[in-house]
Structure 1
Amino acid sequence: MKQRVPLTLAAVTAALAAVTGLATLTAPAADGAPAAAASGKTAARMPVERSLLVCPSPSTSDIADTAYTAITPGAAAAGGTGTARLLGATKDAKPVLELKEPGKPVGAKASGAEAPALTGTADGFLAPGWSAQQTTLVSVGRTRGLLGVGCTAPGTDFWFPGVSTAKGREDYVHFTNPDDDAAVVDIKLFGPDGAVKTEAGTSENIRIDPKSSKAISLSSLAPGAQLADVTAHVTTRAGRIGATAQVGEEGVGADWLPASIDPAGTLVLPGIPADATSVRLIAFAPGEEDADLTIRLAAANGSLTPAGNEQLHVKAGMTASADLKDVTRGEAGSLVLSPAEGKQTVPVVAAVRIVRGSGAKQDLGFVQAAAPVGQRATVADNRPEENATVLALTAASGADATVKVTASAGTEGGEPASKEVTVKAGTTQTLTLAPTGGKGPYALTVETLTGGPVHASRTLTLPRDGTPMFTVQTLSDDRSTVSVPQATQDLSVLTED
């Protein structure tokens, strides 16, 4: 039998306010299902109210020049308020840059080896889609090159197929801890023969202090190993981190290698440049089953299979690779990996190592398996110089897609420009788009209008002394909205059994 609990007027008012603010997932329906499902209502999507990004320390070179660019895409809302800033990943750090309103990028520069890792926080109307990138130019040295990386949300699990412990390679994994508590990290390495034996005490329980960053040399973890193709798996025992691999190859170049998306049966690696002189695919199957993959190149006029590299067999727990040489042959394309006909679906991770140029005039870049652009995705640092910025759009599935591409104003002025693009199923389309009269770096935002999914990447090329220095960044959904279940009243919380 229910008995009334004496309530004051203030208590009733507070209780009613709490009830009407509850998500329907907490309000039981007659059949035991959530109230939202019982009423036929679907959860609404609302803009996020806070976004967090982390950026690795750019370089150890004294002659490194780094540019930071950040933007929240879209137009300013009437009466909207918010803050967005990048600051050093240390306690009491001063802002490197601050954003004032959506739709207008801001930039900053740093020089030398002392530029720190950064954390970026945005709230209010500047949080949805908050994006930032750092681009570093090292013009000379053993591992000179153009190194670009998008700042990412912290996480707990990262896969890096494509790293190496071979002679002539200088590969590091950079960790950034944005939080007030220490993080604890493990690194596992897998080569062509399986797990790589690491030196005792070097690859487990790595402490990343609060508000700090740390770079770990992969060669130092396994001093005796000389492996060209390795997959690194980074997990946290405590806390969360930003993690990105930095690769330097003597006589070739340097760039960042972001984490592959989570293991999946079908992967898309979008936007291999048209003039790539060397393309090497690296894949890893983390489960207990071997993977047999069909390799296709989605190019401008359709999909084709690279001659001599139609399939790749990836043994469970081992890193496999395929030398695709100059597979694009003057036409930008995207690699699509899928289960071979008649074979089971086995989740894998993958990346490609790309070289442009030849001899002493070459540079190195990477494209990792990426998620689709989804509703909207942004890459923050693009340059208005002719042919500097090329956007690649791929519809890898059996459906055509239409997207809207918007170039924001530059950091130093200009007017936004937009264009709708239809991408035929199984093809990759390239596009150059810059703001009208734009000056300074600008952002590119891709929105899916119909069809899809669409995968995308942006190639930035800044030639130096005849070397096509370049970097490629993939675009993934900016997760600017979250699902918020419908609310309903349930006055039964005011009674007690």
Structure 2
Amino acid sequence: MNRTTLSLIAGTAALAAVTGFAALTAPDASGGDTAKAAAQLPVERTSLLCPQPSTSDLAETAYTSFTPVSKGTDSSGTAQLQSATGKSADGAKSGTGKKKADKPVLTPKEPGKPVTGATSGADAPALVGTAEGRFAPGWTVQETTEVAAGTGRGLLGANCTAPDTEFWFPGASTSDDRTDYAHLTNPDDSAAVVDIELYGKDGALKSTVGEGITVQPHSSEAILLSTLSDESQTNLTVHVSVRSGRVAAAVQALDDKLGGDWLQAATDPAAGLVLPGIPKDATSVRLVAFAPGDSDADLKVRLASPSGPITPAGNETLHVKAGMTAAVDLGDVTRGEAGSLVLTPTDTPVPVVAALRVVRGKGDKQETAFIPATAAIGTRATVADNRSKGSTLALTAPGRTAEVKVTASAGSEGGTAVTKTYTIKGGTTQNVAAPVPAGLKGTYALTVEPVSGGSVYASRTLAETIEGVPAFTVQTLPDDRGTVAVPRAEQDLSVLQK
């Protein structure tokens, strides 16, 4: 091959490369951009991680997987949930010492129908899930654990979450009656390095133990928060930041007398926050907030009730000092009605994070759950593991009146999907009579889609009685991120003439 031919081939290759680049970046002659408005297309791959459910021998854990039916997806695809630690679903170790392609805890068969799996005991591992193709958009997995006795007894629920690099958990504790663990799960082929910082009422707790924690590939670590500092604090904010790699993080909060639940990450720091779906029979509600920046935050505290905004008597505002955790007990703030807490700045907007600790029951029959501040439903949100009894859907429209569509999926063992539309008046929270699939057998999923009007925030409370205790867990419903913006592009060879 002579030099002229080589030069021609090289030039052609360079032309192709430049053309491809120009198609995405070159402006047109009119001053506009060749890249058109981004199209919202279904995601093609979703990863979810579920924390180790419990260290109790009495634990009974159910997993429920669901993918809403989405337009524009391919007809092919797979999804499965497997051990993250080289153990099988029943806790047996792999003999290879490597990540094992063990039997999945569950494998969905088709979008639009939930599939369930189960495990029991203290050795159940953390799980890593991957969905591709038609199973990826909006894939949701719920982990629900019943513990009949002991520290943290009750109903513990968690939405399995995507890996990320930063998490905030207001509402944790290192007090003597609490046993809180930060669970870190690494889905990748390389190790992740993580820092855990604790912030109390006077600022950061002194600790070097939380720096540079290594989470090995395809593994999970449970870090007891009380081992990170000698200070005992009732109300803490936990900050998990990842130096390298990525993890999924959640805090398991276990109380000696008040049961326990998963404290999941709050939404990113913001000047205004919504904490939706306080159960109407809550006997105690505690607000915990943290200002991560250099400025103090002053917040208006309002309860969005079924009839409109209410100011809690004696707790009209909350002052949060920079770098410190603030907490206020609101008592039985809902007074028998549905409610959501809405926080807004009194003057200068300062980003904060926040969560609620909610208690139901009395005496030695009390149980705890947590409601972190959450993002509004953008396009669609889904929550799995709903039952014919005990599931309550709370919808909040803190601003303008909103109309939403709620779809109950087919049941995991039978039943036909049902859809209803609801109108939520501005400034209110409504506990709606969520639709139940016709002929329901097993569990089902609820999908919420805003139709018109203002922003909507939502949560689902799952409740049942365990050994006489009014056990419950609350999951918020942020957008399921089932679509991604993909720029529209076209070739523009004029860039080669410039």
Decide: shared fold, TM above 0.5. Answer: yes
Q: Give the aligned partner of residue 427 of structure 1.
A: 428
Residue 492 of structure 1, CA deviation:
5.0
User: Gapped runs of 5+ residues in structure 1?
Assistant: none
Instruction: Report Cα offsets for 1:375-396 as digits up to 9, x if no partner.
Output: 00001111113xx000000001
Secondary structure of 2:134 counterpart = helix
Question: Contact 1:21 / 1:487 at 8 angstroms: preserved in 2?
Answer: no
SS at structure 1 position matched to 2:304: strand
Aligned equivalent of 1:449, options 444, 448, 451: 451
Q: What whole-Å deviation, never above 9, does each CA across 1:28-87 have from its counterpart, x for those lacking one?
A: 333665323xxxx41111111111111100000011000000011016879700001111
Could you tell me which residue of structure 1 aligns to residue 356 of structure 2?
352
Whether 2:144 is the aligned partner of 1:144: answer no
Post-superposition Cα deviations, 1:210-246, rounded to whole Å, max 9, x if no partner, equal 00000001101112x1111111111011100000000
How many Å apart are 1:6 and its aligned residue?
Answer: 6.6
**What amino acid sits opposite 1:47 in the alignment?**
P
295, 300, 303: which is aligned to 1:294? 300
Say whether 1:218 aligns with 2:219: no
The corresponding residue for 2:29 is 30
Q: Which residue number in structure 1 is paired with residue 483 of structure 2? A: 481
The answer on 1:279 being equivalent to 2:281 is no
How far apart in 2 are the matches of 1:19 and 1:407?
Answer: 50
CA–CA distance in structure 2, aligned partners of residues 29 and 77 of structure 1: 30
Q: 1:30 to 1:246 in 2, by over 3 A?
A: same
TM-aligned CA deviation for residue 436 of structure 1: 1.1
Q: Which residue of 2 aligns with 1:413?
A: 414
Distance 1:44 1:295, change over 3 A: same
**Which AA in structure 2 matches 1:172?**
Y
CA distance in 1, matches of 2:6, 2:290: 61
Q: For 1:153-232, what aligned pairs fall within 5 Å after superposition?
A: 153-198=162-207, 200=208, 202-223=209-230, 225-232=231-238
Counterparts of 1:12-51 in structure 2, within 5 Å, are: 24-30=23-29, 34-36=33-35, 41-51=36-46
Name the aligned partner's letter for residue 257 of structure 2: G
**Aligned equivalent of 1:461:** 463
Alignment of 1:13-412 (within 5 A): 24-30=23-29, 34-36=33-35, 41-74=36-69, 80-90=75-85, 91-94=99-102, 95-198=104-207, 200=208, 202-223=209-230, 225-340=231-346, 343-385=347-389, 388-397=390-399, 399-412=400-413
How far residue 433 of structure 1 moved from its aligned partner, in angstroms, is 2.2
Residue 46 of structure 2 aligns with an amino acid whose one-letter code is S
Offset at residue 12 of structure 1 (A)? 6.6
TM-align CA RMSD: 2.3
Change (3 A) 1:88 1:410: same
Inter-partner Cα distance in structure 1 for 2:158 and 2:22: 38
Structure-1 separation of matches of 2:176 and 2:413? 43
> 1:7: Cα distance to partner?
5.0
Between the aligned partners of 1:486 and 1:262, the Cα distance in structure 2 is 29
Rounded to whole Å, the distance in 2 between the matches of 1:269 and 1:49 is 31
Aligned residues: 480
Equivalent in the alignment of 2:94: none
In structure 2, the residue corresponding to 1:289 is in which secondary structure? coil
Residue 24 of structure 1 contacts residue 34 of structure 1 at CA under 8 Å; is this kept in 2? no
Q: CA deviation at 1:332?
A: 1.3
Measure how far apart 1:24 and its partner are.
Answer: 4.8
Cα distance change of structure 1 residues 442 and 209 upon mapping to structure 2, 3 Å threshold: same
Unaligned ranges ≥5, structure 2: 86-98
Deviations 1:411-441 (A, max 9, x none): 1111111100111100001123211111112
Q: Which amino acid aligns with 2:348?
A: Q
Judge conservation of contact 2:42–2:73 (CA < 8 Å) in 1. no
What TM-score results when the alignment is normalised by the length of structure 2? 0.92
1:471 to 470, 473, 493: 473
SS in 1 for 2:196: strand
User: Are 2:391 and 2:462, in contact at CA under 8 Å, matched by a contact in 1?
Assistant: yes
